Chain A
Amino acid sequence: MEILKYIGYGLLIIGGIFLFLGALGIYRMPDLYNRLQAGTKASTIGAMSVILGVGFIQPDWLIKTLIIVVFIAVANPLSSHAIGRAAYKAGLKPIMKTKMDAYEKTQNIQETKEVKL
Chain B
Amino acid sequence: MQDGKSSISKFIYTFIVVFIIWNAFTWPGKFTDIQLAEVLTGIFVSIVLALLTNKFFSSFGLKGILPIKILYFVQYLFVFLIALIKANYDVARRVILPSLPINPGIIEFKTNLKNDFAKMVLANSITLTPGTLTLDVIDDTFYVHWIDVTTEDAEQAFKEIAEPFEKILLKIYK
Touch test A–B (CB under 8 Å): yes
B37 touches A (CB below 8 Å): no
B91 cross-chain contacts in A, Cβ below 8 A: 21-22, 25, 37-38, 41-42
Give Cα A24 to B103, complex, Å.
19
Q: A41-B88, A84-B145, A98-B152 are in contact. Are A64 and B103 (CB under 8 A)?
A: no
CB pair B25–A67 under 8 Å, yes or no, is yes
CB pair B100–A28 under 8 Å, yes or no, is yes
Interface residues on B, range: 35 or more
Interface residues of B in 33-56 (CB under 8 A from A): none
Closest CB in chain B relative to A105 CB, distance in Å: 9
Q: Which residues of A contact B (CB under 8 A)?
A: 18, 21-22, 24-25, 28-31, 33-34, 36-38, 40-42, 44-45, 60-61, 63-64, 66-67, 73-74, 77-78, 80-81, 84-85, 88, 94-104, 106, 109-110
A64 cross-chain contacts in B, Cβ below 8 A: 24-25, 27
CB pair A34–B88 under 8 Å, yes or no, is no
CB pair B108–A103 under 8 Å, yes or no, is yes
B24 cross-chain contacts in A, Cβ below 8 A: 63-64, 66-67
Q: A61-B29, A77-B124, A98-B149 are in contact. Are A103 and B105 (CB under 8 A)?
A: no
CB pair A42–B88 under 8 Å, yes or no, is yes
CB pair B102–A34 under 8 Å, yes or no, is yes
Identify which of A37, A60, A101 contacts B29 (C-beta below 8 A).
A60
Kindly report which residue of chain A lies nearest to residue B123, judged by CB atoms: A81
A34 cross-chain contacts in B, Cβ below 8 A: 102, 104, 147
Identify which of A25, A99, A101 contacts B95 (C-beta below 8 A).
A25
CB pair A78–B124 under 8 Å, yes or no, is yes
Kindly report which residue of chain B lies nearest to residue A105, judged by CB atoms: B108
Jot down 21 A-B pairs with beta carbons below 8 A, ordered by A. Answer: A25-B94, A28-B100, A29-B95, A29-B100, A33-B104, A34-B147, A37-B147, A38-B91, A42-B88, A42-B92, A42-B95, A61-B29, A64-B27, A74-B124, A80-B133, A81-B127, A81-B135, A94-B105, A98-B105, A98-B152, A102-B107
